Amino acid sequence: MKRSRYTDSQIMDALKRVEAGIAVPDLCRELGISSATFYKWRAKYGGMDTSMMARMKELEEENRRLKKMYAEERMKAEIVAEALAKKW
């Protein structure tokens, strides 16, 4: 997964600055991001604080690992089923 070049606190700071009254295009120009990136951040992290962001990222990572484990176990089960289906 690609890492963001902005930390959680920087993203939260950007969101709070816009809430305080800074125009989105001005903030985007200052940070060197596109307005689409800003609106993605707002959709994903709006209303959160830094600790909630960190917890959400931990849960996303755990979910990714669990999906990978499930896929591996499913593949093993299919291989076993194929082997048992063959007649010796």
Q: With contact defined as beta carbons under 8 Å apart, do 46 and 52 qualify?
A: no
13 domain-assigned: yes
Q: Considering the domain boundaries, does residue 56 fall inside one?
A: yes
Which tens digit of pLDDT belongs to each residue from 38-63?
999 999 888 888 888 889 889 999 99
Cα–Cα distance for residue pair 42/58, rounded to 1 Å = 19
Q: Decide if 30 is inside a domain.
A: yes
- Report the number of distinct structural domains present in the chain: 1
pLDDT of amino acid 24: 94
Mean pLDDT of 57-70: 96
Tell me how far apart the alpha carbons of residues 8 and 37 are, in angstroms, rounded to a whole number: 14
pTM: 0.61
2 within a domain of the structure (yes/no):
no
In a domain? residue 34? yes
Q: Is residue 75, in this structure, part of any structural domain at all?
A: yes
- Residue 31 is part of which domain span? 8-85
Give me the mean pLDDT over the 13-37 stretch: 93
Q: Which two tokens stand for residue 68?
A: 């990978």
User: Is the distance from CB of 27 to CB of 17 less than 8 angstroms?
Assistant: yes
